[in-house]
């Protein structure tokens, strides 16, 4: 269930005009069965399916776990980096999700539907805006749920 905690992590921010600033927003992530798997509060607190706090996303894009250790970062262009600053994925402006090898593995539609590489719906982000695409990617990559794509 660690992936649930981190899957929720990155769904949170509206990208503003600068690459180094994130506007936080409330978001709920649901799986294909419509069950809540996590959420993010407007202050950046990441919550698991039980509502317990498991981490935080900061305005500069830094993603922290429940112990307040930095585990990665989301950049303004949609690139997701791990704690070693290695690129682990990206979400392009059209919603295409790419892994660290630059292979397309899924897509986020404008209504928040998350689709895998076979075009099957695997989840949805309530409160989604296209500006959140990088945050959704970070959640998918840090949470390990990219394997469903």
Q: What does the pLDDT look like over 30-54, one tens digit per residue? A: 888 998 877 788 888 888 888 888 8
Task: Determine the pLDDT at residue 111.
Answer: 92
Task: Determine the pLDDT at residue 70.
Answer: 94
- Rounded Cα distance between 149 and 116, Å, is 4
Domain count, the chain: 1
| Phi/psi of residue 5, nearest 5 degrees | -60, -45
Task: Determine the pLDDT at residue 3.
Answer: 43
CA distances from 135 to 25, 91, 139 (A): 11, 9, 6
pLDDT exceeding 90 applies to what percent of the chain? 17
Task: Determine the pLDDT at residue 16.
Answer: 31
**In the chain, which residues have pLDDT < 70?**
1-23, 134-140, 142-149
Residue 104 is part of a domain; what is its CATH number? 2.40.160
Among residues 61, 69, 71, 53, which one has the least CA distance to residue 4?
53
Task: Determine the pLDDT at residue 47.
Answer: 80
pTM over cut 0.95? no
Bridge partners of residue 14, in order along the sequence: 23
Range of the domain at 50: 2-148
């Amino acid at each position: 269930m660690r992936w649930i905690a981190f899957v929720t992590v990155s769904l949170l921010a509206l990208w503003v005009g600068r690459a180094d600033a994130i506007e936080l927003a409330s978001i709920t992530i649901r799986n294909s069965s419509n069950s809540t798997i996590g959420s993010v509060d407007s202050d950046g607190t990441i919550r698991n399916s039980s509502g317990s706090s498991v981490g935080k996303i900061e305005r500069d894009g830094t993603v922290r776990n429940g112990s307040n250790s930095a585990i990665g970062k989301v950049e303004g262009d949609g690139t997701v980096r791990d704690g070693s600053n290695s690129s682990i994925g990206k979400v392009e402006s059209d919603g295409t999700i790419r892994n660290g090898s630059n292979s397309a593995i899924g897509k986020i539609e404008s209504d928040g539907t998350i689709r895998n590489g076979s075009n099957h719906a695997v989840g949805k982000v309530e409160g989604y805006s296209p500006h959140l695409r990088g945050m959704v990617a970070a959640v998918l990559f840090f949470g390990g749920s990219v394997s469903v794509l």
